[in-house]
Amino acid sequence: MAQLTDQAPTTDQSAGCLGVLLRLFWMLGGVPILIFLGIGIISKPNKALLIAFYWIAMIAIIMARLVDIRIFRGDTTDGKPATMKHWRRQAAIYFASSIVFFLVLLLLRIL
């Protein structure tokens, strides 16, 4: 009987160019994208498309980290292999902070 673990499965794939680009996206690129979309939501009169892109970008950041862990054997900040427990915690933090940021954007839009 197979034993279920919380450790991401290992594969023979290395963290090549695609893995590095994926890590750069979720670590460095994702949050600035959300910020720029947020500025657009505040300043543009037609904001529906920007709001959709905001939530798509937020989901893309979370999914990029999932792919990083599951396929490219992503690491934690201290160099240990990341697990699905790490992903769940990071996804919850990203999602909650995105909601708070979005609510702040809406309040700034009203004021």
Domain assignment present for 1: no
Q: For the chain, what is the domain count?
A: 1
pLDDT for residue 12: 44
Q: Is residue 58 part of a domain?
A: yes
Contact 68, 13 (CB under 8 A): no
CA atoms within 13 A on the CB side of 89: 7
pLDDT of residue 11 exceeding 90: no
Is residue 57 in a domain? yes
Cα(14)–Cα(11) distance, rounded to whole angstroms? Answer: 8
In a domain? residue 28: no
pLDDT at residue 99 is higher than 90: yes
**pLDDT per residue as tens digits for the range 38-96:** 999 999 888 899 999 999 999 999 999 999 999 988 888 888 899 999 999 999 999 99
Amino acid 17: pLDDT: 86
Per-residue pLDDT at 40: 93
Closest listed residue to residue 106, CA positions, set 28, 54, 32, 29:
54
Asked if residue 25 is part of any domain, the answer here is: no
18 found inside a domain? no
Domain range for 70: 35-76+83-110
Prediction pTM value: 0.78
Is residue 26 over pLDDT 70? yes
